[in-house]
Each structure stands twice: as structure tokens, then as C-alpha cells.
Chains A and B, each alone.
Chain A
Amino acid sequence: MKNTIKVHRAMHDMTQDQLAKAVGVTRQTILAIEKGRYDPSLTLAFRIARYFNVNIEEVFIWTGEEK
């Protein structure tokens, strides 16, 4: 699953740390999601999308089955 968190962060001029605090996770978790190493739960995905005030599909893009 791809995501555009980094783009949205840049648009909002935010650091990973600020986004992490805003959605209640650690900075390492945001880093791992951005790098595609960790797929967030549906709750966290919605929380991130809602924070950027966009639909979840605009932040997380389904690319098919995981390897």
C-alpha cells in the first residue's frame, strides 16, 4: 500500500513529530508508514486522513496484495 503522507505533510508544513503527536502515535510509526514498512490500522488511517481533511483514498492507495 502506497501513501502520500509525506506530500500532505509538506503541504501543511509539518514534521513527522508534529503529525505523530496530532494523531497520537510515535514519530517512528509515521516514519514506518511513510516508508511503506508498516500498514496502519483502519482507525489510524482514518485519523491521518481526517487530520489532513481529505478522504482516506487520497492518502492511502491500495496497490494490490502484499508481497
Chain B
Amino acid sequence: MKKNTFYIFAGVSALILLLLFSLSIKLTNPVPVAAGFVCYVLLILLLRRKIDGIIHDERQTAIDMHASAVTIRAAAVMFVTVNLGTAVYVFSEALGFHRPPIETTVPIQSLGAYPPFIHAPPAQIPTSDLGGFAVIQLILLIATLFIYAGARTYFAHKFGGIGEDDEEYH
């Protein structure tokens, strides 16, 4: 398989994955996109082996290793920061720090509440909040990909081979 064919296939598969994501939202069921993503990753890993003329030598391995190390450090700082913040939010009630009551304009008949309609804070974190956390994690993951790409470019330049073509062809 040629390199360009692989990229086209990967792009089309990513579009299908986006469709599965919108389908999952429509069905309010995470299974299609989760299963689709696992299949996508397996497919990409399988197809990468079929690309012709790819030489992954020791210099590229060194670049990968250095870029990965930088990315892991940066990702660890970002994820620990966000997760620590979220953990405080989740455990705050259990630790005895109560969130303030939430005002609502919708009358809650079962509570017999009247304007300004104050009710007790939810005992559990609403699902919508967890979804927001997932979006933050996705943003962090995308940021991690950018950090990896940047680090890879930096180390590829540091270890030579980029923009320094002095080959004399016969």
C-alpha cells in the first residue's frame, strides 16, 4: 500500500468515526462511537504495517523516544491539574463542604416549593457535568497530540535531517 492511500483511508475512516459520534449523540448511547474508535485504532495499526518503503531506523526511534518523554511529562502536568480540580469538586460534599443551593425558575411540585424555588443540591454529580469533564479531557488529549507533534519536530531538527539537504545526486 502506498503512503498516500493510507492517509486517504485514515481520513475517510475518521469521517466515519465522526458520523458514529453524531449517531451516538442522537441515540444517546455511547456504544457506537466507543466501539467504532477501538475498531478505528486497530484498523490504523494494521494498515500501517502494510505501507511500502517505510524505514523506521534508530534515529527515528530516538526522536520518538525524546518526543514521547516530553509529551508524557506535559500531559501528566495537564491531566493531574484538571483531575485534582475535578476530584475536589466530586469529593467536596463527602468532605463536608456543601455546595450552595441552586436557584431554579421551574417549580418543583414534589418539594412543595414556591418562588424563588430553592431546592437542595443534588446528592450526585449530574451527568451533564461529567460530560463537561469528558470534553475537557478531549481538549487535553488534542493538546497532547499538538505537544507531541511539536516535540517531534523539535527533536527531528535537533538530530538533523530536516531542511539540510546537501545531497549531490549523480
Contact = CB atoms under 8 A, between A and B. Distances in A.
B52 interface: no
* Chain B interface, DSSP helix/strand/loop, else mixed: loop
A29 B57 contact: yes
A15 B167 CA distance: 7
A11 to B, nearest CB: 14
A50 interface: no
Interface residues of B, number: 18
B167 A16 contact: yes
B158 interface: yes
Q: Which 8 A-B pairs have the closest CB atoms?
A: A37-B160, A32-B160, A28-B161, A25-B57, A29-B59, A38-B159, A32-B161, A26-B55
Interface of A: 13, 15-17, 24-29, 31-33, 35, 37-38, 40-41, 44
Contacts of B60: 26, 29
B166 interface: yes
B167 A31 contact: yes
A35 B167 CA distance: 12
